[in-house]
Chains A and B, each alone.
Chain A
Amino acid sequence: METLIKEAESIQKQQTQRVSGSDALLLSLIEEKVSTIFGYPGGAIMPIYDKLMDYKKQLKHILTRHEQGAVHAAQGFARVSGKTGVCFATSGPGATNLITGIADAFMDSTPIVCITGQVGSHLIGSDAFQETDVVGISMPVTKWNYQVTRADEIPEAIAKAFYIAKSGRPGPVLIDITKDAMLQDFDFAYKPCDYIRSYIPRPLIKEEQLNRAAQLINEAKKPFALIGQGVILGGAEKELLAFLEKTGMPFACTLLGLGAIPNNHPQHMGMLGMHGHAAPNIKTNDCDLLIGIGMRFDDRVTGKVSKYARQAKIIHFELDKAEINKIIKVDAYVNGNVKESLPAVTAKVIKNKHQSWIDEFKLIRRDEEKRVIQKEINPEGNKISMGEVLRIINTIVHGDAIFVTDVGQHQMIASRYFDFKNTRSWVTSGGLGTMGFGLPAAMGAQFGAPDKTVIMVAGDGGFQMTLQELGTIAYNRLPVKMIVLNNNYLGMVRQWQELFFDERYSATPISSPDFPKLASSYGIAGEMVKERTGLQAAIQRMLDFDGPYLLEVKVVNKGNVFPMIPQGAAVNEVLFGDEQAIK
């Protein structure tokens, strides 16, 4: 009898263990297969940081130089690895410094879990030192958030956080933990979450929706597909390729959809949007069937909505029901994960070819090649252009790198000219357009893909917003290749001032430090290039270098990104930059 009781007790002991809330948090993260955490300590999160020392083997903590760096790093990590990014911050300013990154992750559907420390539960609501209502503040920009005030809530809250962040349309989750909850002991047991009754991450795909979509596809003479990040998030690249190759239709990618299918695919017509390629934008208003796949008809893609694809039938393949009919009224939709809906619809469509329709795109592409692309990548002037930097990178890496950008002109140039070959090789801030995203995101991307070459491109403006992360890169010897394209302007805003504000350059000229010297003070190698003659060799040196490297390239000061669809214009009202009205 006694042995039986002992046995029962030992089984009980195996299932639960008495630990502190801090231990419970870290054990829960280990259960969720987290290996890397980006963060910054502070008073309210100290008990967790203390316990981190006991889990050094399982959990690697990366001390960033600012909480914004931590959250962008978690985003970069998530975007390249397909895992959920994790970051820690303390209460008050630590927590509020995360908000920009959380908002960015919310817009771009990036799965991250943010853990914030909070003042003791007895102090909540008393305006205590470093108290802020981060649950309230982060509510509009999180998929879910929760405040833990008791240690025994931790395992369930973390399990839910990871389930919600990663499933369905991914997004950021914030868990706020009071200091006293970190210090309480309780019997810990972990059970992953796989069901919340009020949450349907995987809607069942309806046969009638598939049939309607297949019918429209089979009837179309000039179908055109728009590929978004939903394909990458759903891991549906192969399924998409099968669908596109069977239907034979041309397609284009949104900014975040780039890389889902290699650029050199014969049906790939380029990028959509304000600075996208001319052909896919113009042909949007010429096709007879427009198919959005895992994308959300952002205003940078649609231009003037009332003039968007009026002639076409529209189908939307989309996981998030709230995105269907949000901006554009559709004729048919398939609500579900594209990983499941694409093979189902592929089975129902007839094998087809649309060569002459594709040739119409190519005609416009040739025009763009002459009027814009060649001028950008093989410029005649003495000054280096942003485009030629990209052209040289392509000739060396051939798309086998992870490309990270900041926000602005260089971002649009990179998205237009980088030779995308692999999925999850592109990290850029799309929906929120967060300047300062590039450097910390590149850092996170390198942790998420340690064996890959990570190349970051930033402008002189955005780089200065988060350049403190050079410290993190130096300390961790992260071999990130950093290119700062310096035009001494906040270039994109300056471009708009030139085109739409009568060349009144209000607050756009900007001074910078000598970036390679700055890098050098962190112990990071680098160089500056001012002349075209040294450019190719410098890029080669950077890519060959074993370790982090900063290359500053002085580029043409008043370069513009074309083609461009001015805000409020229709998608087919594309400017190439050589029109009389612009000159």
Chain B
Amino acid sequence: MTNIEFTNYQEYTLTIFSENSIGLLNRITINFTKRKLNIESLTVSESAIKGVFKFTIVVICNQHTVENLIKQIEKQIDVLRAFYLTQDEILHQEIALYKIETASLLDTNEIEGIIRQYNARILEMTREYTVIEKTGHKAETQELFEKLQPYGVMQFVRSGRVAITRLKKELLSNYLKKLEREHNQAV
């Protein structure tokens, strides 16, 4: 029972709930650096529970590495819970913004067709430039980028992943209540 799998790399989405403390991002990313793991994408924001922050991190590694990684992250004092999820366990989105010259939009009606086809939308339009927004998976926002490229994309930016679980897991708020309850019992 000692054989540990060192192959089978795949993409994992890590969901980390933490207190809001300075330096915690560093404490979390150290665990990736230490294992020479690249962070594919990172998003941080306050969760539905006030004061509790949620990190969504995408990493490519094997099962054994991600299991250890998640335990080391959860071990950090200010981390409440940490989970890892595979592709089929989550719904996820990224947002991309594209800036193109307004002139190229006016010169041809092909861009309008592309925007419709990709369910993108125009966020802002000035005489010089137009900003287009698209949400979707990386492959989709990338495809739109490639479609727009011939017309001259002046700027392009893509956000980190945000993900929500498909699993019927215990909610963090219930977990926090359980923690308080156990603590009160112990006292």
Residues of B within 8 A of A204 (CB): 182
In the bound complex, do residue A196 and residue B2 qualify as a contact, i.e. CB atoms below 8 Å apart? no
Q: Number of A interface residues at 8 Å Cβ cutoff, please give it.
A: 33
Q: Does B11 contact A (CB under 8 A)?
A: no
Contact of A309 among B2, B74, B77 (CB under 8 A): B2
Q: Does B30 contact A (CB under 8 A)?
A: yes
Q: Does A144 contact B (CB under 8 A)?
A: yes
Residues of A within 8 A of B78 (CB): 198
In the bound complex, do residue A306 and residue B2 qualify as a contact, i.e. CB atoms below 8 Å apart? yes
Closest Cβ–Cβ distance, residue B6 to chain A (whole Å): 10
In the bound complex, do residue B68 and residue A136 qualify as a contact, i.e. CB atoms below 8 Å apart? no
In the bound complex, do residue B23 and residue A197 qualify as a contact, i.e. CB atoms below 8 Å apart? no
Interface-forming stretch among A206-214, A314-322, A415-423, A537-545?
A314-322
Contact of A198 among B1, B19, B26, B71 (CB under 8 A): B19
Interface-forming stretch among A13-21, A325-333, A380-388?
A325-333
Residues of A within 8 A of B27 (CB): 139
In the bound complex, do residue A320 and residue B75 qualify as a contact, i.e. CB atoms below 8 Å apart? yes
In the bound complex, do residue B4 and residue A305 qualify as a contact, i.e. CB atoms below 8 Å apart? yes
Q: Does B58 contact A (CB under 8 A)?
A: no
Question: Complex formed: what's the CA distance from A308 to B4 in Å?
Answer: 11
Q: Does A51 contact B (CB under 8 A)?
A: no
Q: Does A143 contact B (CB under 8 A)?
A: yes
Contact of A140 among B19, B30, B176 (CB under 8 A): B30
Residues of A within 8 A of B182 (CB): 204
A-B CB pair tally, cutoff 8 Å: 64
In the bound complex, do residue A136 and residue B26 qualify as a contact, i.e. CB atoms below 8 Å apart? yes
User: Which single residue of chain B is at the shortest CB-CB distance from A328?
Assistant: B2
Binding site of A, secondary structure by majority: helix, strand, loop or mixed?
Answer: loop
- Type the 1/0 row for B1-33, where 1 means its CB is closer than 8 Å to any CB of A: 111100000000000001100110011001000
Closest Cβ–Cβ distance, residue B26 to chain A (whole Å): 6
Closest Cβ–Cβ distance, residue B172 to chain A (whole Å): 11
Closest Cβ–Cβ distance, residue A227 to chain B (whole Å): 20
Question: Complex formed: what's the CA distance from A135 to B26 in Å?
Answer: 10
User: Which single residue of chain B is at the shortest CB-CB distance from A194?
Assistant: B187
Q: Does B79 contact A (CB under 8 A)?
A: yes
Q: A140-B34, A329-B2 are in contact. Are A197 and B26 (CB under 8 A)?
A: no
Question: Complex formed: what's the CA distance from A195 to B186 in Å?
Answer: 11
In the bound complex, do residue B34 and residue A330 qualify as a contact, i.e. CB atoms below 8 Å apart? no
CB within 8 Å of B: which of A315-371?
A: 320-322, 325-331
Q: Does A530 contact B (CB under 8 A)?
A: no
Question: Complex formed: what's the CA distance from A199 to B18 in Å?
Answer: 11
Q: Does B116 contact A (CB under 8 A)?
A: no
- Type the 1/0 row for A191-203, where 1 means its CB is closer than 8 Å to any CB of B: 0000111111000
Q: A204-B182, A305-B4, A308-B2 are in contact. Are A198 and B30 (CB under 8 A)?
A: no
Residues of B within 8 A of A328 (CB): 2
Residues of B within 8 A of A143 (CB): 77
Question: Complex formed: what's the CA distance from A322 to B70 in Å?
Answer: 9
Residues of A within 8 A of B74 (CB): 321-322
Q: Does B110 contact A (CB under 8 A)?
A: no
In the bound complex, do residue B1 and residue A196 qualify as a contact, i.e. CB atoms below 8 Å apart? no
Residues of A within 8 A of B34 (CB): 140
CB within 8 Å of B: which of A159-217?
A: 164, 195-200, 204
User: Which single residue of chain B is at the shortest CB-CB distance from A304?
Assistant: B2
CB within 8 Å of A: which of B157-187?
A: 176, 179-180, 182-183, 187
Question: Complex formed: what's the CA distance from A327 to B4 in Å?
Answer: 8
In the bound complex, do residue B80 and residue A197 qualify as a contact, i.e. CB atoms below 8 Å apart? yes
Q: Does A310 contact B (CB under 8 A)?
A: yes
Q: Does B112 contact A (CB under 8 A)?
A: no
- Type the 1/0 row for B32-44, where 1 means its CB is closer than 8 Å to any CB of A: 0010000000000
Residues of A within 8 A of B18 (CB): 198
- Type the 1/0 row for B64-104, where 1 means its CB is closer than 8 Å to any CB of A: 00011001101101111000000000000000000000000
In the bound complex, do residue A310 and residue B2 qualify as a contact, i.e. CB atoms below 8 Å apart? yes
User: Which single residue of chain B is at the shortest CB-CB distance from A135?
Assistant: B23
User: Which single residue of chain A is at the shortest CB-CB distance from B80?
Assistant: A198
In the bound complex, do residue A195 and residue B183 qualify as a contact, i.e. CB atoms below 8 Å apart? yes
Question: Complex formed: what's the CA distance from A157 to B44 in Å?
Answer: 25
Contact of B3 among A147, A306, A322, A326 (CB under 8 A): A306
Q: Does A83 contact B (CB under 8 A)?
A: no
Closest Cβ–Cβ distance, residue A162 to chain B (whole Å): 13
Question: Complex formed: what's the CA distance from A140 to B34 in Å?
Answer: 9
In the bound complex, do residue B23 and residue A136 qualify as a contact, i.e. CB atoms below 8 Å apart? yes
In the bound complex, do residue A321 and residue B71 qualify as a contact, i.e. CB atoms below 8 Å apart? yes
Question: Complex formed: what's the CA distance from A144 to B1 in Å?
Answer: 34
In the bound complex, do residue A321 and residue B67 qualify as a contact, i.e. CB atoms below 8 Å apart? no
Q: A198-B18, A314-B1 are in contact. Are A144 and B179 (CB under 8 A)?
A: no
Question: Complex formed: what's the CA distance from A515 to B116 in Å?
Answer: 84
Closest Cβ–Cβ distance, residue A238 to chain B (whole Å): 24
Question: Complex formed: what's the CA distance from A139 to B26 in Å?
Answer: 8
In the bound complex, do residue A199 and residue B77 qualify as a contact, i.e. CB atoms below 8 Å apart? yes
Contact of A329 among B3, B30, B176 (CB under 8 A): B3
In the bound complex, do residue B68 and residue A322 qualify as a contact, i.e. CB atoms below 8 Å apart? yes
In the bound complex, do residue A329 and residue B4 qualify as a contact, i.e. CB atoms below 8 Å apart? yes
Q: Does A313 contact B (CB under 8 A)?
A: yes
Contact of B1 among A139, A147, A329 (CB under 8 A): A329
User: Which single residue of chain A is at the shortest CB-CB distance from B186?
Assistant: A202
Residues of B within 8 A of A139 (CB): 23, 26-27, 30
In the bound complex, do residue A197 and residue B2 qualify as a contact, i.e. CB atoms below 8 Å apart? no
Contact of B77 among A164, A305, A310, A314 (CB under 8 A): A164
Residues of A within 8 A of B79 (CB): 198
Question: Complex formed: what's the CA distance from A74 to B4 in Å?
Answer: 38
Residues of A within 8 A of B68 (CB): 322, 325-326
Question: Complex formed: what's the CA distance from A322 to B27 in Å?
Answer: 16
Residues of B within 8 A of A140 (CB): 30, 34
Sample of 23 A–B contacts (CB below 8 Å): A135-B23, A136-B23, A139-B23, A140-B30, A195-B183, A195-B187, A197-B179, A197-B180, A197-B183, A198-B18, A198-B77, A198-B78, A305-B2, A305-B4, A310-B3, A314-B2, A321-B74, A322-B68, A322-B75, A326-B68, A328-B2, A329-B3, A331-B1
Closest 5 CB pairs of A and B: A322-B71, A198-B80, A144-B77, A322-B75, A140-B30
Binding site for A on B (CB under 8 A): 1-4, 18-19, 22-23, 26-27, 30, 34, 67-68, 71-72, 74-75, 77-80, 176, 179-180, 182-183, 187
Q: With A322-B71, A329-B4 given, name 9 new contacts (CB 8 A).
A: A135-B23, A136-B26, A140-B30, A198-B19, A198-B80, A204-B182, A314-B1, A322-B74, A329-B1
